Amino acid sequence: MPDGDGREPHRPHIPHRGMRRRAVLTGLVAAGTAASAAAGCRRPDSSNNADRATPPGTGRPAIDRAAPVVHPAGVVSPPLPACTMTAYDVTATNRAGLAAALRALGQPVRDAIVSVAVGGSLFDDRFGLSPPRLLTAMPEFPSDVLDLDWCHGDLLVQITATDPTIAKRASRRSLPGLRPRWRLDGFHPRNRGPGVRNLFGFREGAGNPEASDAQLMDDLVWVKPGDGEPAWCVGGTYQVVRLIRLAMSSWDVESTTEQEKVFGRRKDTGAPLGQDTETADPDYAADPDGRTIALNAHIRRANPRTPDALAHQILRRGWSYRRRDDAAGEHLGQIFVCYQRDVEKGFAAIQQRLASEALERYLLPYGGGYYFIPPVGGEYPGQAMFTM
């Protein structure tokens, strides 16, 4: 873990494209700016694990396959203002040890929501588990400079609360069979006026699909029986976490007009440029040359409002963070989180459209990963993995 717990085994391979943005990173350093999941990694072949017996201690009798699917908490509900993300590597050497670790992670925390997710590195040859079909490594995108100390992990635990001390205290418990890999505390900045804003001063969640629409969430977020996933995945969701450093010194010198041009939205109301309310749709058909909303504006690249793009929506969540780096001093950033049924059709498709967007020069993604949050069921998170 980067704060002094040492390097961990089972580090997944990331296709590294080199330090193309070293100049950006250097500039950020000089200016002093800027239950969930196991890290996504290459999914190993598990065909030789089919005949493994489930060892004692996994609590199998608690699974009721006839019970209705219960989706994991903390996904579609309004995000709480404090969040701690902790990625772990599993040091347990057998299924019973892994089950004990998951049981400990699943203990309720008063006044908090705990989500536990699993990632690809958990599905190597250690435990003989059947992986989520679409769980892969988070690749290094062209604008990334990934720091492996802040990527991946066998498990990722997200704890959200109204009181930040609750999330922080709960995330720092001593847990059997686990070694922390990375940890980051997030918060919603205090702002005047309604709504949550990020450190750039813009409204969080503008343009998000309506989380209270159960049918829409079924279509976009939750894994379905016909998706070809292992039975234990049905009702869960794929989670993407991105740790992004913000170039605040560069951003703060820009005029409000320029900042709004970069995002494509009004800073005060969140409305798309040319519209009156945050929920209004931008009229790209009437603006083919980008005179109102620039062609490389963030919202236009992220969702160009084409039929194909609308089918690839994701449910976004986000928290700001402030942390101190021994080499660079204090810097500010964003914990970006999103949920979808299929990462390639969701986040990855959007990320490809965002290449060379106007906002890119103010961002430095350096960590995170791809994860899967199982549905609720059994005596502890992920128990159904051991029985299906």
**Nearest of 343, 359, 366, 350 to residue 16 by alpha carbon:** 366
353-370 tens-digit pLDDT? 999 999 999 999 999 999
Q: How far apart are CA 155 and CA 131, in angstroms?
A: 13
Phi, psi (rounded to 5 degrees) for 216: -65, -40
Q: Distance from CA of residue 315 to its chain's centroid?
A: 10
Task: Read off the amino acid at residue 152.
Answer: H
Start-to-end CA span in the chain (Å): 32
Question: Is 228 or 388 the better-scoring residue by pLDDT?
Answer: 228
Per cent of the chain over pLDDT 70 is 81
Whether 32 has a pLDDT exceeding 50, the answer reads no
**Nearest of 149, 200, 221 to residue 318 by alpha carbon:** 200
Q: Which residues contact 316 (CB under 8 A, 6 or more apart)?
A: 205, 208, 336, 337, 338
Beta-bridge partner residues of 90 = 178
| Mean pLDDT of the 40-58 span | 36
Q: Which residues contact 218 (CB under 8 A, 6 or more apart)?
A: 224
Identify the three-state secondary structure at position 157. Answer: strand
Tokens 């006026």, located at residue: 193
pLDDT bucket at 126, cuts 50 / 70 / 90: very high
Q: How far apart are CA 344 and CA 232, in angstroms?
A: 21
Answer yes or no: are the C-beta atoms of 100 and 55 closer than 8 Å.
no
285-324 tens-digit pLDDT? 999 999 999 999 999 999 999 988 888 899 999 999 999 8
203-217 tens-digit pLDDT? 998 889 999 999 999
pLDDT bucket at 328, cuts 50 / 70 / 90: low
Question: Is 387 or 80 the better-scoring residue by pLDDT?
Answer: 80
Answer yes or no: are the C-beta atoms of 163 and 296 closer than 8 Å.
no
Q: How far apart are CA 36 and CA 115, in angstroms?
A: 4
Answer yes or no: are the C-beta atoms of 98 and 90 closer than 8 Å.
yes
Residues in the chain: 388
**Class of residue 262 by CB neighbours under 10 A (exposed 0-12, middle 13-18, buried 19+):** buried
**Nearest of 290, 306, 307, 286 to residue 298 by alpha carbon:** 290
